[in-house]
Amino acid sequence: MDYPTAYNFLMDQGTALSSQRNPDDLLRRLQQGKPPIPGQVTAILLALKVVFEGLKDAKNLDRNLVWALYLLTVESQQLFESGWKSGVDWPPLLKEDLHRIAIAVQSIYSGIWQGG
């Protein structure tokens, strides 16, 4: 995956609830009480690593990207919690996967990779 592909993928994932383009984006699936598509979290984590590598020496970050990453992190965790409280039977590792996404986003913001 190259940087432009990763950037566009993360923009789509992060803005999924407002754009409503793809019903299979992570946030839309969580909103519907559905688990991620197999491999979806892995693809997001890969894209985050690619974007991190592309931006690690950047002095400034693109405001639109920052917003999309923020939404991806915060809304995924909020939707998980909301679903959990409503009785959704999430996959066993989903909470940890969402935490890994949050750590990768923090890495992009800080410029220091904290993921595994």
Q: What is the pLDDT of residue 31?
A: 95
**CA-CA-CA-CA torsion sign (21, 63, 69, 9):** positive
**Rounded Cα gap, residues 84 and 90, in angstroms:** 7
What value does the CA radius of gyration of the chain take, rounded to a whole number of Å?
14
- Is the confidence at residue 29, as pLDDT, over 80? yes
Q: Per-residue pLDDT averaged across 97-114, rounded?
A: 94
pLDDT at residue 19 in the model: 77
Q: Which DSSP category does 47 fall into?
A: H
Q: What is the pLDDT of residue 56?
A: 87
CA distances to 34, 44, 87 from 58, in Å: 36, 21, 43
pLDDT in tens, 52-63: 999 988 999 999
pTM: 0.92
